[in-house]
Structure 1
Amino acid sequence: MFFKMRKYLPFLGLILVMSSCNEYQKVLKNEDVKAKYELAQKFYEEGDFKRANRLFEQIAPKYIGKPQGERVMFFFANTYFERKDYNMAGYQFERFIKSYPKSEKVAQASFLGAKSYYKLSPVYSLDQTDTDKALVKLQTFINMYPDSEYFDEANKMAKELTTKKEKKAFEIAKQFNKLGHFDYSFLTPAMAAFDNFISDYPGSIFREEALYLKFESATQYALNSFARWKPERLANAKTAYNVLKKQYPETKFEEDANKLINKIQEEMGAPVSNEDKETK
């Protein structure tokens, strides 16, 4: 008997799907707000966020000021998030927070809104407007809800986005440095970019390399300067070396840094130590 019934199961499933579709279309087209609400909630609980979203979109304006309005607006925003429409999700969660600032869902809405912008953040090489927006939202959440269950995840996302912004700034400075190998006029913006990076991101994982590349740029700039400007620029390059060595006494760029500082000392007329000669 079971095996006989089993061959009909696909047809029964198809009938149920068609029945559900018919019910959805019927409720979608009529004016019964309560029926739309109940079906939207049913779809939401079943994970059918596309159809739930369409129904919530229709009824959301009808529930403004009503007890169910808070629930409807939160679910409406979250259907966008679940469908990966992060632009609309961020916007709708912001609306929810403004409309229901005392809601028990405010912390969650704040987190999901911030996460929506986090999801929109592009690779580091592209415009970082959404990254900036996400960082502001995440920092606001972290400051306001330190005891939230989402706190650790928010911190992790904020750290990831900060690293992304660091990498973008660092790569811009590195690009100036690379161009400076062919055109010395790029070395001035390279040094400025590294200075800005070091100042803006004091705890960056790229800090040591930035200090070394700042020294490298300064060295090339000095060595290729006209005689009347060379002494001052050599002194600046030597200062950049001293900063690198002071902050990273055992820097991983030791060998290359020693080769450059030897060239500077030779240009300045200073004797080169035996230890330095061995690294040339």
Structure 2
Amino acid sequence: MRIKSVYFLLLALVLSSCNEYNKILKSTDRNLKYTYAKKYFEEGKYSRSITLLEELVAFMKGTSEAEESLYLLAQSHYNSRDYISSTQVFTTYYTTYPNGTYAEPAMFYSAYGMYLDSPDARLDQTKTYTAIAEFQKYIERYPQTERSEQAKGYLFELQEKLAYKELMSARLYLNLGNYMGNNYESAVITAREAMKIYPYSKYLEEYQITILRARYEYAQRSTLKTQPERYRMVVDEFFNYTNTFPEGKYTKEAEEYYREAQKKIEVLPTI
């Protein structure tokens, strides 16, 4: 009996809440709606606050509640984990009110939402690029804030994700080999470009060894006529690797490529 009583009490509360919300939706009193929008926001009922605020924001323009209503709408989307919508509204806020009360957090959360929504490196990185652009704007505008240091950390993390994506692309080209073209050269180009774009990445050694592997594999699969030149390229890349990473974790592997390349260079011209 006690369980049934609790159930009916909860049901009554839910129905009462729904009835209240429906009345507010139908109301023509915008001040009342705004009061409830804030109330629902405080209660964590973000879908309700979003519905009310999306109606009210347009009418709030030019009033004392204009800034707050727009910021609340952005925060409601953010707290609902709809980061695309929250970034759009946060951006609208700090563009409309560049010196507004909430301009600094709006600019930060427009970036942070996209950071949270940034997908695995294997997927499309549009959101990652958006987050990077937003963090860069934030750091430029607010270089001395506490959140600026956080933004720098998140920015570097996102750049590392893009750097890893380029590494995966270079490795894919390497694995494809001569399939439908010279993918070894594509692996080299991709890795080199990544090194230019991300010069401080933790994947620099991975890029360099990928280049060396690609040069070696390509030389092995080349014609006798072209092998000497291509094995010399292997030697060049060996020195690039060892000069940059004198105690690199792939040193033994690199030395094997070098020894094999040297043998071929000595023998092939006599063929």
**1:257 corresponds to 2:254:** yes
Mean alpha-carbon deviation: is it higher for 188-197 or for 27-36?
A: 188-197
Deviation at 1:126, TM superposition (A): 1.3
Q: Return 5+ residue gaps in structure 1 as ranges.
A: 271-280
Q: In the alignment, which residue of structure 2 is the partner of 1:278?
A: none
In structure 2, the residue matched to 1:102 is 99
State TM-score, norm by structure 2.
Answer: 0.90
Superposed displacement of residue 55, structure 1: 1.0
Q: Taking structure 1 as the reference length, what is the TM-score of the superposition?
A: 0.88
Over the matched positions of the two proteins, sequence identity in percent amounts to 28
Kept in 2: contact 1:93–1:113 (CA 8 A): yes
Which residue in the other structure is 1:241 paired with?
238
Q: Which residue of 2 aligns with 1:58?
A: 55
Superposed displacement of residue 57, structure 1: 1.3
Distance (whole Å) between structure 1 residues aligned to residue 9 and residue 190 of structure 2: 67
* Equivalent residue letter for 2:27: N
Q: Distance in 1 between matches of 2:2 and 2:144?
A: 54
Shift in Å, 1:119: 2.6
Give SS of 1:269's match. helix
Determine the C-alpha separation between the residues in 1 that align with 2:118 and 2:206. Answer: 25
- Choose 139-148 or 67-76, whichever is displaced more: 139-148
Match of 2:45 among 45, 48, 52: 48
Shift of 1:6: 10
Shift of 1:176: 0.9
State the shift of 1:5 in Å.
Answer: 10
| Aligned equivalents of 2:189, 2:172: Cα separation in 1 | 13
For 1:238, the aligned partner's letter is V
Corresponding residue to 2:195 among 191, 198, 203: 198
Q: 1:174 to 1:15 in 2, by over 3 A?
A: same
| In structure 1, distance between residues paired with 2:181 and 2:3 | 78
2:182 to 172, 185, 200: 185
CA separation of 1:181 and 1:257: change in aligned 2, threshold 3 A:
farther
Pair 1:207-2:204 in alignment: yes
- After superposition, the Cα gap between the structure-2 partners of 1:193 and 1:5, relative to the gap in structure 1 and judged at 3 Å, is closer
C-alpha contact (below 8 Å) 1:208/1:251 kept by paired residues = yes
Q: Matched residues in 2 for 1:188 and 1:59: separation?
A: 57
| Deviation by residue 1:147-167 (Cα, 9 ceiling, x = unmatched) | 333223322321221111011
* 8 Å Cα contact 2:167/2:206 also seen in 1: no
2:229 is matched with 232
* Pairwise CA distance, 1:244: 0.5
Does residue 87 of structure 1 match 2:105?
no
Kindly provide the CA deviation profile for residues 8-51 of structure 1, in whole angstroms up to 9, marking residues without a partner as x: 56544443433222121111112110110111111111111111
2:144 aligned with 1:147: yes
2:175 counterpart letter in structure 1: K
Task: State the number of aligned residues.
Answer: 267
**The residue matched to 2:94 in structure 1 has which SS?**
helix
What SS does the aligned partner of 2:24 have?
A: helix
Report the residue type matching 1:136 in the other structure: A
What is aligned with 1:38? 35
Q: Confirm or deny: 8 A CA contact 1:37 1:56 kept in the other structure.
A: yes
Partner of 2:25: 28
The answer to whether the aligner puts 1:126 opposite 2:123 as a matched pair is yes
Structure index of larger Rg: 1
> 1:15 aligned to 12, 15, 20, which one?
12
Instruction: Pick which of 15-24 and 247-256 moved more.
Output: 15-24
Matched AA of 1:128 = Q
Paired position in structure 2 for 1:72: 69
The question of whether the paired residues in 2 share the 8 Å contact of 1:184 and 1:221 is answered with no
8 Å CA contact retained: 1:241, 1:257: yes
Structure 1: distance between partners of 2:248 and 2:181: 26
- State the distance in 1 between where 2:184 and 2:8 align: 72
CA contact (8 A) 2:139 2:148 kept: yes
